[in-house]
Amino acid sequence: METERIEVPAPSRAYPVLVGPGLLDRPQILQEWVGDGGILAVTSRTVAGLYLNRLTALAGGRGCESLVLPDGEEAKDIRHWQRILHRMARLELKRDCTLISLGGGCVGDVAGFAAACYHRGVNYLQLPTTLLAQVDSSVGGKTAINTEWGKNLVGAFHQPLAVICDTDVLNTLPDRQLKAGLAEVVKYGAIADEEFLGWLEINGRALLARDPACLRHAVRRSVEIKAAIVGEDEHDSSGRRAVLNFGHSFGHAIEHTAGYGQWLHGEAVAAGMCMAARLAVAEGDLQSREQERLETLLADLGLPVNAGDLDAGALKKAMLSDKKNARGRIRLILPRGLGNARLTGDFSMDALDAVLSGRAS
């Protein structure tokens, strides 16, 4: 099966995303993207057990040092960020070194932030291993760690040299993680490409069964959509990039209210997109049958379509602290038909309350 190549036209640095099976076995990957300096690979425990030896084998005689972090959000912490920097310094890596992240979005975010900081920015190659990381976090140059005052509070924009998405590694991903990644895939269709939503409706079952050609297409189309948006608004300053947050204000409120770790991010985004769609119906921007279509697709992919029994008041309080808000007013990404969305603060608070309390359907 051929490898797909998508260019990310970020103004600070354009770079390719390669998508396809078997990429982790191709020595050309390191030959093409890694310079003459040293290499440090950052990964997490589970991924190290599965794939780290494949990466170090690719490096062959060049040598590839590695650092294994904990799985999940625990890695996105100042202590682990510092561990990466200390290791780089002890290895006496120079500006021509390359930092490689092999793992999910958490490893990618903390390693990317270390790459942005070491010598004020060194080469960074992403090998994302979750569906969410392949379709979302590895593309676009946002890096960050969490602090006790907020998730992703400290970070930098630092674009990678390249992103290598080996779709074979998705075979070992737990079902729940695969589905959570599919929520972001549906998001791309909902904000930018109704035809892609139709493709997902037809191929949902095959995606859940991890059909290789379907996975490659889903990752490719998602990356194409994200790449185009990042090209227009690399630093999230014009409002264009904000559409990538469709479903996320509701989703973050769900994650926060339920307690972090209860809902996977993608699960919360799935329910959040359905809630945003219900609000758009109330505002006359989306037809009921379009909202039902989105909801049926997400439900068929095994994703939640509402916030369950979470308290509406607590959800609203969490939404009031969202960073997209301006002048005390909640701003949301709302769909305008399927395949289109916009950032707006222009909606009825009563309609929002009805959505949060589950009264809107």
Per DSSP, 326 falls in state B
3-state secondary structure of 75: helix
Nearer to ligand NAD, 26 or 336 (CB): 26
Alpha helices in 260-348 (DSSP H): 265-282, 288-300, 312-320
Q: Which residues pair with 329 in a beta bridge?
A: 326
Q: State how far the Cα of 344 lies from the Cα of 340, in Å rounded to an integer.
A: 13
Instruction: With contacts defined by CB under 6 A, name the span among 171-179, 200-208, 292-300, 318-326 that binds ligand NAD.
Output: 171-179
Q: Binding marks (x or -) toward ligand NAD, 83..122, rule CB under 6 A?
A: --------------------xxxxx-x-------------
Tell me, residue by residue from 316 to 345, as one string, x for binding to ligand NAD by CB under 6 A and - for no binding: ------------------------------
Candidate residues 16, 140, 189, 251; the one interacting with ligand NAD per rule CB under 6 A: 140
Alpha carbon distance 202, 36 (integer Å) = 46
* Binding string, residues 238-277; x marks residues near ligand NAD by CB under 6 A: ---------------------------x------------
- Torsion over CA: 243, 246, 250, 256 (sign): negative
Q: Determine the 3-state secondary structure of 343 from DSSP.
A: strand
Q: Is 164 in the site for ligand NAD (CB under 6 A)?
A: no
Residue from 64, 132, 254, 281 binding ligand NAD (CB under 6 A): 132
Centroid of chain to Cα 88: 26
**How many C-beta atoms surround the C-beta of residue 239 within 10 A?**
13
* Nearest one of 211, 184, 165 to 5, comparing CA atoms: 165
Q: Smallest distance, Å, CB 122 to ligand NAD?
A: 18
**Which range of residues in 79-87, 137-145, 200-208, 310-318 is near ligand NAD by CB under 6 A?**
137-145
Q: Are 356 and 271 in contact (CB under 8 A)?
A: no
Q: Which of 152, 203, 325, 340 touches ligand NAD by CB under 6 A?
A: 152
17, 5 in Cβ contact below 8 A?
yes
Q: Which of residues 51-90 bind ligand NAD (CB under 6 A)?
A: 71-73, 76
What are the residues binding ligand NAD (CB under 6 A)? 44, 46-47, 50, 71-73, 76, 103-107, 109, 129-130, 132-133, 136-137, 140, 142, 152, 169, 172-173, 177, 265
